[in-house]
Amino acid sequence: MTEVREFALPDLGEGLTGAEIVRWLVEVGDVVVVDQPVVEVETAKAQVEVPCPYGGVVTARHGETGEEVPVGSTLVTVAAEGAASGPAPSGTADGTPGAGRPAQPSPSEKPAAGAADEGSGNVLVGYGTSAASGRRRRRTRPPGGPTVHPAPTGPRRVAVISPLVRRIAREQGINLTDLRGSGPDGLILRADVERAARPAPAPNAPPAAVPPVAGEQRIPLRGIAGAMAEKLSRSRTEIPDATCWVDADATELLAARRAMNTAGAPKVSLLALLARICTAALARHPELNATVDTRAREIVRLPAVHLGFAAQTARGLMVPVVRDAQRRSATGLTEEMTRLTEAARAGKLPPGDLTGGTFTLNNYGVFGVDGSTPIINHPEAAMLGVGRIIEKPWAHQGQIALRHVVQLSLTFDHRVCDGGVAGGFLRYVADCVEQPALLLREL
């Protein structure tokens, strides 16, 4: 007996509601084994390969390259000889019992007696097996027949997967039970909530016209670019930021790096030295390693420094995060930053390495600019910006000399501290850049 199974894009976590198909790894007619990657997708966090938890013959691919696929929609259909589907889920991916499905399968969907689910549960490389993966919707179809959609029984339930959708609805005062989702099986998507939150147009008002422009190019804000645009907009909307800056003589810092990079010793990057200075400065000024809980009206100071750093990739700007940066030496920071940068540029960073930062270091000097007023990486409270290091005339030991000078800028959330704290932090960073030996007191 041939059993047909449909594998849907699982709940990706981190508030993600969908992914874009980058390329298919299988063709219709291919034989796949359990956990074999079948498609590569790009989320707002990373580019990952999706393994199918079923084995068999691929009978259909759902979606084209470049297409946005919502969570819960079918990716591939697999037919397996003699396979039996596992027991029907008792709830939806958001934990609501029976949402959009009856609690038990219809007689035509019941598995053979004693059959067990052969799927592995490893629904997405880099995300790991989660409880949500075991609760995803399943649809089966008889061989050669149409997909069976059992009629819902009992009161209508709300079909929501993403916690982000629930939060937006709550903040906008929208009752999800009043909405009809536009996603698969009535799944409520973020667009549904945002559409409901928009005010209704005035009666008889003409639709807003977008004048066409010859030769214009429209680039969809989706994937990493869309997530970054949303985050930056939210930062500017919610955070009352301010910026202070100072020029510093980095000549001694460069000399210290040359001395550390002796032949045969592990290499230390300039960015890692700046990161080490940041962790020392945050130990002195913990006010800046914080976030603001707007609902509780509280400032939350964080015990560990999870240091984000800006990395330019072919797919746009990404901010990998070094966990517990305050515990790492300059050598350890160099190794971890190198690993994260290489993975980011290869599109292989899992979401866990791109989230959870508490402070960000932005070296925009690599673009040949001196200064900037960076936008804070929400929900963090501060970001240190570093410009290019360039030779300039500088007063040194009572004389004018050519020295390597860098401009440092600190953008900070004015809710977590005043200018005195921010200035003290930035001054300490500048002092360490000018006199790296000051860091010896922090060891």
Supply the CATH number for residue 18's domain. 2.40.50.100
- H or E element, residue 183: none
pLDDT score at 225: 77
Are 307 and 321 in contact, with CB atoms under 8 Å apart?
yes
- Residue 295 is classified by DSSP as T
Q: Residue 428 CA to chain centroid, in angstroms? A: 32
274 CB neighbour count, 10 Å cutoff:
23
Asked whether residue 215 is assigned to any structural domain, the reply reads no
Phi-psi domain of 368 (left: phi exceeds 0; alpha: psi -120 through 50; beta: other): left
Q: Which CATH number belongs to the domain containing residue 191 in this structure?
A: 4.10.320.10
Token readout for 248 is 């510093």
- Do the strands 2-8 and 74-81 form a parallel or antiparallel pair, or are they unpaired? antiparallel
Are 390 and 404 in contact, with CB atoms under 8 Å apart?
yes
416 and 305 part of one domain: yes
Q: Which domain does 124 fall in, by range? A: 2-141
Number of domains in the chain: 3
pLDDT score at 129: 37
Q: What is the mean pLDDT of residues 173-199?
A: 81
Highest mean pLDDT among 96-110, 190-204, 247-261 belongs to: 247-261
What percent of the chain clears pLDDT 70, i.e. is strictly above it?
76
Highest mean pLDDT among 62-71, 171-180, 257-266, 323-332 belongs to: 323-332
pLDDT band with cut points at 50, 70 and 90 for residue 269: very high
41 and 88 part of one domain: yes
pLDDT band with cut points at 50, 70 and 90 for residue 153: very low
123 and 168 part of one domain: no
pLDDT band with cut points at 50, 70 and 90 for residue 150: very low
89 and 192 part of one domain: no
pLDDT band with cut points at 50, 70 and 90 for residue 169: confident
- Considering only CA atoms, which of 36, 243, 200 is closest in space to residue 122? 36
Catalytic position from the list 149, 306, 378, 414: 414
Asked whether residue 158 is assigned to any structural domain, the reply reads no
Q: What residues have CB less than 8 Å from 371, skipping those under 6 apart?
A: 245, 385, 387, 407, 409
CA 17, 20, 26, 29 dihedral sign is positive
pLDDT score at 138: 40
pLDDT over 80 (residue 25):
yes
pLDDT score at 101: 39
pLDDT band with cut points at 50, 70 and 90 for residue 68: confident
Q: Residue 341 CA to chain centroid, in angstroms? A: 15
- 414 catalytically annotated: yes
- Considering only CA atoms, which of 436, 260, 281, 255 is closest in space to residue 331? 260
pLDDT score at 89: 39
Asked whether residue 211 is assigned to any structural domain, the reply reads no
228 and 350 part of one domain: yes
For the question of whether the overall pTM of this predicted structure is more than 0.75, the answer is no
131 and 168 part of one domain: no
pLDDT score at 278: 97
Asked whether residue 67 is assigned to any structural domain, the reply reads yes
Distance CA 120, CA 133 (A): 10
pLDDT band with cut points at 50, 70 and 90 for residue 69: confident
294 and 418 part of one domain: yes
Distance CA 197, CA 194 (A): 5
pLDDT score at 332: 96
Asked whether residue 205 is assigned to any structural domain, the reply reads no
Asked whether residue 151 is assigned to any structural domain, the reply reads no
pLDDT in tens, 203-243: 666 666 566 888 899 888 877 778 778 888 999 999 999 99
Task: Report the alpha-carbon angle 123-126-131, nearest 5.
Answer: 45
Residue owning tokens 């700046």: 274
Token readout for 177 is 């039970």
Distance CA 398, CA 89 (A): 78
287 and 424 part of one domain: yes
172 and 302 part of one domain: no
pLDDT in tens, 417-434: 999 999 999 999 999 999
pLDDT score at 228: 79
121 and 269 part of one domain: no
Ranking 152-161, 212-221, 244-253 by mean pLDDT, the lowest is 152-161
Q: What is the mean pLDDT of residues 374-395?
A: 96
Q: What is the mean pLDDT of residues 382-397?
A: 96
Are 77 and 28 in contact, with CB atoms under 8 Å apart?
no
22 and 85 part of one domain: yes
pLDDT band with cut points at 50, 70 and 90 for residue 343: very high
pLDDT over 60 (residue 128):
no
pLDDT score at 61: 94
Q: Which residue has the higher pLDDT, 409 or 151?
A: 409
Query: What average pLDDT does the chain have?
Result: 80
Asked whether residue 172 is assigned to any structural domain, the reply reads yes
126 and 188 part of one domain: no
Q: Which residue has the higher pLDDT, 320 or 44?
A: 320
Q: Which CATH number belongs to the domain containing residue 428 in this structure?
A: 3.30.559.10
pLDDT band with cut points at 50, 70 and 90 for residue 95: very low
Q: Which amino acid is at 393?
A: P
pLDDT band with cut points at 50, 70 and 90 for residue 288: very high
Distance CA 257, CA 439 (A): 13
pLDDT band with cut points at 50, 70 and 90 for residue 86: very low
Asked whether residue 107 is assigned to any structural domain, the reply reads yes
